[in-house]
Structure 1
């Protein structure tokens, strides 16, 4: 029977507030999973810039009562099951039940597994699940159906991608998200699952089922493939192996990774726990079909209110890519750093610059110019050279054109690192000055001494002019100057000037640095439960409104972002 209520709720991304992100090592498994609000959030397949599954969440219900949304109504705590292994355990508590969920993937299959334990506090409680594919912007939506087997299985189709969910289901159906899905059925039928729809689409299709156990442990497997038969086979094969065996293989591969440098563990304060987690996270950011293409993050900011395909973070930014490569290099993974560098080289334009960001296949997404993103690849080349990791001379094919671009387009940048304004940025200038000095070293080693002297001269001049361009008469640095021929008399307070210290261009105890730090603390410092933090700059609006984006609790605590709120506090890097 065809489900009514199509096409369902409008398309959207998952929440940006991810609790976990992981993937199996190796090239055979090309799926990446995220966890948000205690449940499985977006799953990427077959590439890290393509969301296939929107979410899989649980509901708990009893006759005569509205359903409990595990995501929005439960209290969640998350932990790494093993140090440095991106498999996660979420323990959800509610006064009516407890639900523990382990999330990991199969290194040999395109499958994500959930190993769960349900502990109801009342005898008549039942557990349900609901999965939905991501509705790609610009398409008519997805399709869904119930596979009539014992137990039944769930099938979702997103264009040429098929998703199969298998588990101990007693009943199953498909419908449209927020119009005829499991949650609507449980709400309208006083806690009972009554819909018998076995097909739906196109639209925002959800597939749901009742878990056929009253209490105890159970397992779900989600298979991904490019055909219906393959998706079902992948899911059933993973479930047949068993969550225990799959998790052991998952952990075994991750434990075979090189250990973090001993010195890092000694100074970490936690025996390297956070460092291991951080490096595992960075490794997961690399796509498995595009070597060296590390995305910025597996999320869309404020995804519940972000319905288009423009404002997403699963893209490659040169800045993020260089930071990731440098961190992995410091952790001892020079191969990953070199892969990232090669990817950067493959994306350099003929004019020496790079696009603002791009998809994994190299298609430009945003196309403005951020000069620090031209400088950082030069600095990465130098770091790789110092570490003895370069297998070729990058000067003639990459470093020289990039340095020429910086001189030709600088010192003003179209956009600074926060990507909402441009001008004379101390952080951008710091990166560019350091890059020109490094480029001069490359030129000198190549025997281009005239070019080397010119690069040093420009770097020296820009360095001498930083205060005239980017500080007030009082000596306090600002976020952006606007006129290279006139000293600014006003400007936003921001901590970007610290890049001058990080690159060795200004002393930490410089009076201007100390005075500016006082201004930053006065204007941007906020007290949070975990300690002090700082906003990005005075007047920042990149944050959420204080009112909820909607009244549907299934959206979780999502807040509205419209570019007019107060910026979030956090690390300024």
Structure 2
């Protein structure tokens, strides 16, 4: 490292224009993501050939909007992000990001970048090599998850920024020339070049606003260090430490640690392209697990449509569902230790009442407040999967028993109606959520007492038997049956348990609260009935539903067949390609993830998944990342049909789906299927002995030979009688008895009820009578 020369004096005043433009994040259309395996806690994404979004100390805490470059050339100036074309060079061993930028108007021009986080401290290292001008680095801090109220300054040849307890330091291996701190949109370095064609401003500080730092790099080749700590001097220590060791040596160490991890992968058979993408997918998932909270995998190192807003959340959050999908994907390719770490994190993040929050920051702080029952049940599936591969001894018996008992209790007290479905938009009964819950109840019995097991299995059997009544429509309920020549199909969601589920109104919240009949709304969500082992893929009901879904939601694109989430979806770009801002002007786009789900169903029914695997591969970004959504109409100035549409990329869930589909193709079965679930429902399919009446899942007609349990989460007295609703006979009162998991019940045997016509009842609580009478039609014999 060369000796620094005396810096020219900086302008003493603060930059004008406080607070600058309203901050936003940057595009979620990423090229690559990277992170170190070791002590370094920095994670970074690259989009449009430059660093955009850097995370520290966890993968849920973005600190930088972007770090880009301007080049002063003999003919003017070049904005690397806007004016150049670039290419990425993949590295098989690990996520080292190599980029070369070219300029069409000057074949001799070249800017090469290599980007990697340090394996031993909290710095991001960028090695650069420029041919054809003078390089300027332009850095936009968004510290502590926001672009607001950041302060930037220059001191002793180091560039700093701070907000709250997050600070960064920016340093070069050679000398910085001119340096300046400014307010974005007014006095930042890009505005300087735009107005003057060169760097003329040298402001010493810009405080309490949306800020940017610019530095002239005197050396054409060198290394930059962008480092973080809880105070500025500590960040400078990390930056200097990152530059005092040769970049080539740190590059070698970075790749060596990743090569060790990658060598443990057991990738399914496939073409070179398929296998290469599987390797990349596993690495992408691993990058999304931060180092500050071991095991926590965020959904994406991105903020969907971030160029238009400054959301505190984005996708850099842990969704338990997405995380279990990701951990299961890694488990399917042999990364047992990673799956163990993830379960360990989830066990620690369980809420006291037994459920897992809708999403949380890696530090455990909840973000959104919704409740999705599949997310709680998914953790039980991961516990059971690790038990199947004989890895449950990584945990104490008490930890697993405690987690399972609380989770099962929560599912029994709240199911089968979930406050939100897997798309986080509707309350109701979804075949997807119920399937995961049934499998979770069966999976959990390894850790329950005999009495708890008896109840959990009884409810699982009951829900399994009633599932079609809730979610499969026929006759007048099935508005699309005639169109596709089927007698029925699974609907996306039933807002509540009802005698005619298809006639209920479903509100499409992201489409100006549009109301449609449940019987006309479909999705691929029912596929998990097959994936978890409740139904055969060849079941006529599954095949009927696929005909409807293929007709309603499938679209042929240049990338292959892709699928929408459901009709009337409005989560996606506006018609002209603009960002989704929740203003009821978005249009739902195609999801490569769903091509993977459709491929599973094709494969498990005895067909081929190849066209769906190919569609996933073709719809990825230039760096091989799978996007959340792809463009679905004519080419637009920014988007091409069948290619990423600017929402989240990468979507970790999609990378996990790809790994599991490759595994399923090689093994002829779904990786998610647990032996205990398959044996119970595909081999034996036990008939339930009791059906459970609850307020959110009432029983309207009792099947023959079934006991009836009227159940609640608090003590009550059942006031009941038989016969006509207006002429009750044999009127009695029964006090509910307390059972397992804090549930209370009044139970009638099948013999007591047979031939009584109708059971009528109302409940009395300590607070008084409920406001509704209920009825159950009884079997004749």
Do the aligned partners of 1:266 and 1:272 also contact (CA within 8 Å) in 2?
yes
Question: Does the alignment pair 1:9 with 2:21?
Answer: yes
Which residue of 1 is the match for residue 494 of structure 2?
481
Q: Name the CA distance, whole Å, in 1 between partners of 2:583 and 2:228.
A: 35
Which residue of 1 is the match for residue 585 of structure 2?
564
Question: Does the alignment pair 1:200 with 2:206?
Answer: yes
Q: 2:216 aligns with which of 210, 214, 220?
A: 210
Do the aligned partners of 1:105 and 1:247 also contact (CA within 8 Å) in 2?
no
Following superposition, the deviation at residue 569 of structure 1 comes to 0.9
Following superposition, the deviation at residue 432 of structure 1 comes to 0.9
Q: 1:182 aligns with which of 189, 203, 224?
A: 189
- Spell out, residue by residue over 1:398-443, the C-alpha distance to the aligned partner (whole angstroms, 9 max, x if none): 1122122212211111101110112110111110111122224544
Aligned counterparts, 1:96-115, within 5 A: 96=105, 97-115=109-127
Partner of 2:327, secondary structure, is: helix
Which residue of 1 is the match for residue 154 of structure 2?
146
Comparing 43-52 and 328-337, the one that deviates more = 328-337
Q: Which ranges of structure 2 fall in alignment gaps of 5 or more residues?
A: 1-12, 475-486, 503-518, 598-781
Partner of 1:296, secondary structure, is: coil
Question: Does the alignment pair 1:510 with 2:518?
Answer: no
Q: 1:541 aligns with which of 540, 546, 570?
A: 570
Larger radius of gyration: 2
Q: Name the CA distance, whole Å, in 2 between partners of 1:55 and 1:137.
A: 13
Partner of 2:222, secondary structure, is: strand
Following superposition, the deviation at residue 36 of structure 1 comes to 1.3
Following superposition, the deviation at residue 231 of structure 1 comes to 2.3
Do the aligned partners of 2:127 and 2:247 also contact (CA within 8 Å) in 1?
yes
Aligned counterparts, 1:382-531, within 5 A: 382-391=384-393, 392-393=396-397, 396-443=401-448, 446=449, 448=450, 450-473=451-474, 474-489=487-502, 490-531=519-560
Q: Name the CA distance, whole Å, in 1 between partners of 2:113 and 2:401.
A: 53
RMSD: 2.3
Do the aligned partners of 2:301 and 2:316 also contact (CA within 8 Å) in 1?
yes
- Spell out, residue by residue over 1:111-170, the C-alpha distance to the aligned partner (whole angstroms, 9 max, x if none): 1111223233xxxx5432200210556885112223354xxx422223233322222433
Q: Which ranges of structure 1 fall in alignment gaps of 5 or more residues?
A: 550-557
Following superposition, the deviation at residue 568 of structure 1 comes to 2.2
Following superposition, the deviation at residue 457 of structure 1 comes to 2.4
* Total equivalences in the alignment: 546
Which residue of 2 is the match for residue 171 of structure 1?
178
- Spell out, residue by residue over 1:374-400, the C-alpha distance to the aligned partner (whole angstroms, 9 max, x if none): 111111111111111113335531112
Comparing 235-244 and 131-140, the one that deviates more = 131-140
Q: TM-score, normalised by structure 2?
A: 0.66
Which residue of 2 is the match for residue 87 of structure 1?
96
> Residues 298, 482 of structure 1: CA spacing in aligned structure 2 closer, same or farther, 3 A cutoff?
same
Q: Name the CA distance, whole Å, in 2 between partners of 1:313 and 1:357.
A: 10
- Spell out, residue by residue over 1:44-82, the C-alpha distance to the aligned partner (whole angstroms, 9 max, x if none): 1222222122210012344775x43322333333232x2
> Residues 285, 74 of structure 1: CA spacing in aligned structure 2 closer, same or farther, 3 A cutoff?
same
Q: Name the CA distance, whole Å, in 2 between partners of 1:192 and 1:465.
A: 71
Q: 1:162 aligns with which of 159, 167, 171?
A: 167
Partner of 1:413, secondary structure, is: coil
Q: 2:242 aligns with which of 238, 241, 244?
A: 238
Q: Name the CA distance, whole Å, in 1 between partners of 2:274 and 2:424.
A: 36
> Residues 304, 353 of structure 1: CA spacing in aligned structure 2 closer, same or farther, 3 A cutoff?
same
Question: Does the alignment pair 1:228 with 2:249?
Answer: no
Which residue of 2 is the match for residue 78 of structure 1?
88
Which residue of 1 is the match for residue 723 of structure 2?
none
Q: Name the CA distance, whole Å, in 1 between partners of 2:236 and 2:335.
A: 37
> Residues 388, 115 of structure 1: CA spacing in aligned structure 2 closer, same or farther, 3 A cutoff?
same
Do the aligned partners of 1:265 and 1:271 also contact (CA within 8 Å) in 2?
no
Following superposition, the deviation at residue 319 of structure 1 comes to 0.8
Partner of 2:334, secondary structure, is: coil
> Residues 237, 454 of structure 1: CA spacing in aligned structure 2 closer, same or farther, 3 A cutoff?
closer
Which residue of 1 is the match for residue 67 of structure 2?
56
Question: Does the alignment pair 1:18 with 2:30?
Answer: yes
Q: Name the CA distance, whole Å, in 1 between partners of 2:113 and 2:159.
A: 20
Question: Does the alignment pair 1:249 with 2:253?
Answer: yes
- Spell out, residue by residue over 1:162-191, the C-alpha distance to the aligned partner (whole angstroms, 9 max, x if none): 3222224332211111111111001111x1
Following superposition, the deviation at residue 220 of structure 1 comes to 1.6
Q: Name the CA distance, whole Å, in 2 between partners of 1:101 and 1:233.
A: 23
Do the aligned partners of 1:18 and 1:35 also contact (CA within 8 Å) in 2?
yes
> Residues 441, 235 of structure 1: CA spacing in aligned structure 2 closer, same or farther, 3 A cutoff?
closer
